[in-house]
Amino acid sequence: MQKNPFLAVINNEQTQRPPIWMMRQAGRVLPRYRKLTQVTPFRKIMANPKLAAEVTLMPIEDVGMDAAILFSDILVVPEALGVKVDWTSEGPSFPTPLLSMERPADSLHFELNDLNHVAETLDEIQRQKSPETPVIGFCGGILTCLCYMLGGRDKSMQFTDVVRYLYTNREEATLILEKLTSATESYVHLQAAHGINAFQIFESFAGTISVELYSSIIMPYIRRITAAARSHGLPVIFFPKGFGVGIKTLTKEDCDFVSIDWHTPIVEARKMIDPELGLQGNLEPRLLFASKKDIEKQLKTYIPFFRENPKWIFNLGHGLLKDTPLENVQFVTEWVKNTDWQ
Ligand code: CP3
């Protein structure tokens, strides 16, 4: 039997075709998951290792993805630091964002025990999965978590007050960033100790600040997370959404793979990024609402790309959207797996 293509690519081996998985594949579009959430809300599924493991493996069983991603959320680390998160039907809500406090860093106390359920979920995944299925662990990017912790939910997604805070309260912001990074490092070690094969950092809000500011005050913390994962031999995939030409600055110290967002054509991204780094991405998730003919037209453009760039993991340019037709998710997956890429 051929080795799992995701494992092959992260180990720098040649494959006949690119591996495929999709960000936010666990849950969302899957009928079995939708059915489960009718009786058990998201937060309860996440906290229940048996159910969380089942949801983690649904995209493998029901769609045929090449890798599973832990079913959890990036906000479990802020929660374990003491930031209150209410999970509503519209997503997370923050009753007491840190911006409203005088000395917010003092309110943060990390409880690693609050994340025990993730360790148990990963153990349960190991028991339930077939041996060749890789599991991806993850955390939120340091800026993305900081935005939620300080500003709460911002419908505009600009986080202007948070960015302003970074310029006006740098000392306090640094204290928060330090605590958040130490907590995230511990979280990486916890996941690594429970059998993950790769680690992804979801920096969904990289584009809310300038490249210069990101590189100077956030990237050093990202490197610490990467180093923590690498200390266990894990490859790191970094998804800095909206980072734009900032991807030119990324080096081997930052990550092993860069996950490209849908804004940037992947061919252009390849020209900008250090040749030592692999790529992941970047099908526009909203294209999945289009006709199969239009989807296929876009998919075909990846064939010449793969021939020149075999160190590539097929994925979306951001997470799957809730109402995406499952049929089209299956179409893309089958297409990637059955096309002659040579
Ligand atoms: O990729 C996966 O399927 C694994 C699990 C996963 C979830 N969230 C489950 C989830 C992952 C990797 C995340 C990451 C995450 N969470 C990000 C970064 C990626 C991105 O999409 O930008 C962010 C910003 C969050 C915070 C968050 N969690 C929001 C804003 C929301 C509500 C709106 C939304 O996007 O759904 C959540 C809720 C959430 N996280 C759900 C799930 C399955 C519940 C919604 C559902 O049932 O589909």
Ligand 1 atom closest to 138 (CA): 12
- d(CA 132, CA 324) in angstroms, rounded, equals 28
Report DSSP letters for 9-27, one per residue: HHTT---SS--B--TT-SS
- d(CA 160, CA 10) in angstroms, rounded, equals 37
Kindly tell me if the per-residue pLDDT of 152 is higher than 60: yes
Kindly tell me if the per-residue pLDDT of 183 is higher than 80: yes
State the pLDDT at residue 210. 98
220 phi and psi, to 5 degrees?
A: -60, -35
CA of residue 73 to ligand 1 center, whole Å = 6
Kindly tell me if the per-residue pLDDT of 1 is higher than 70: no
Which of 96-104's residues contact partners 24+ apart within 8 Å by CB, and which partners? Answer: 97/149, 97/150, 97/151, 97/152, 98/149, 98/150, 98/176, 99/150, 99/151, 99/152, 99/161, 99/162, 99/165, 103/172, 104/150, 104/172, 104/176
Q: What is the mean pLDDT of residues 42-67?
A: 97
Q: What is the mean pLDDT of residues 307-333?
A: 97
Residue nearest to ligand 1 atom 2, measured at CA: 24
Highest mean pLDDT among 24-38, 151-165, 243-257: 243-257
CA of residue 87 to ligand 1 center, whole Å = 11
CA of residue 74 to ligand 1 center, whole Å = 7
CA nearest neighbour of 197 among 285, 117, 129:
129
Name the residue with higher pLDDT: 3 or 250: 250
Structure confidence by residue, pLDDT tens digits, 232-252: 999 999 999 999 999 999 999
State the pLDDT at residue 107. 97
Residue nearest to ligand 1 atom 29, measured at CA: 91
Domain count, the chain: 1
Structure confidence by residue, pLDDT tens digits, 94-139: 999 999 899 999 999 999 999 999 999 999 999 999 999 999 999 9
* Helix 49-58 / helix 116-128 crossing angle, nearest 10 deg: 50
184 burial class (0-12, 13-18, 19+ CB within 10 angstroms)?
Answer: buried
Kindly tell me if the per-residue pLDDT of 208 is higher than 70: yes
Residues having CB closer than 6 A to ligand 1 are: 23-28, 37, 42, 69, 71-75, 91-92, 138, 144, 202, 204, 319, 322
CATH number where 271 lies: 3.20.20.210
Kindly tell me if the per-residue pLDDT of 145 is higher than 60: yes
Confidence label for 27 from pLDDT (cuts 50, 70 and 90): confident
Half-sphere exposure of 47 (CA within 13 A, CB side): 11
CA of residue 159 to ligand 1 center, whole Å = 18
Residue nearest to ligand 1 atom 17, measured at CA: 74
Which amino acid, 140? G
Ligand 1 atom closest to 59 (CA): 3
CA of residue 339 to ligand 1 center, whole Å = 30
Confidence label for 89 from pLDDT (cuts 50, 70 and 90): confident
Kindly tell me if the per-residue pLDDT of 177 is higher than 90: yes
**Domain housing 266:** 5-338
**Location of structure tokens 């990036």:** 74
Q: What is the mean pLDDT of residues 189-203?
A: 98
CA of residue 182 to ligand 1 center, whole Å = 22
Confidence label for 271 from pLDDT (cuts 50, 70 and 90): very high
For a pocket test of ligand 1, which of 23, 74, 121 has the largest count of ligand atoms closer than 8 A to its C-beta?
Answer: 74
For a pocket test of ligand 1, which of 29, 73, 122 has the largest count of ligand atoms closer than 8 A to its C-beta?
Answer: 73
- d(CA 9, CA 237) in angstroms, rounded, equals 12
Structure confidence by residue, pLDDT tens digits, 275-298: 999 999 999 999 999 999 999 999
CA of residue 235 to ligand 1 center, whole Å = 22
